[in-house]
């Protein structure tokens, strides 16, 4: 979903991927950022928190009519309808990130 957002172009792809993973783990209650993930990604959980919050906010953002191709594609069941995932409540997300 960040493909069409200029604000995310300046983020390093590895940090963006790590933040997406942390958000997914948090949303699905699959645990937090482990030492193994920290070692292989090179990012501490705390370094990812601001970007994770921005990504969660992006899920609430409704696209312009002209820029809906990516959202439409990832709304299909072949891609597990990930574009339809509801964002976490920001307070709940903040609370869970503090425990990571």
Domain limits, the chain:
2-99
Averaged pLDDT for residues 4-22: 93
- pLDDT > 70? residue 22: yes
pLDDT tens per residue, range 23-61? 999 999 998 899 999 999 999 999 999 999 999 998 887
pTM of the model: 0.85
What CA–CA distance (Å, rounded) separates 67 from 15? 24
Other C-beta atoms within 10 Å of 55: how many? 23
CATH 1.10.472.10 fits 2-99, yes or no: yes
pLDDT at 2: 86
Q: Which residue has the tokens 């933040």?
A: 19
Burial of 56 (0-12, 13-18, 19+ CB in 10 A): buried
Q: What is the pLDDT of residues 61-82, one digit of tens each?
A: 766 666 778 888 888 999 888 8
pLDDT of res. 83:
81
**Cα(80)–Cα(14) distance, integer angstroms:** 23
């Amino acid at each position: 979903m960040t493909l069409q957002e200029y604000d995310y172009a300046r983020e390093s792809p590895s940090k963006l991927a790590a933040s997406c993973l942390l958000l997914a783990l948090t949303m699905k209650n699959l645990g937090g950022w482990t030492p193994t993930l920290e070692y292989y990604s090179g990012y501490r959980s705390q370094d990812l928190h601001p970007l994770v919050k921005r990504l969660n906010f992006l899920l609430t953002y409704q696209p312009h009519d002209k820029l809906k191709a990516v959202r439409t594609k990832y709304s299909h069941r072949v891609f597990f309808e990930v574009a339809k995932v509801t964002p976490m409540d920001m307070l709940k997300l903040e609370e869970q990130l503090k425990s990571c």
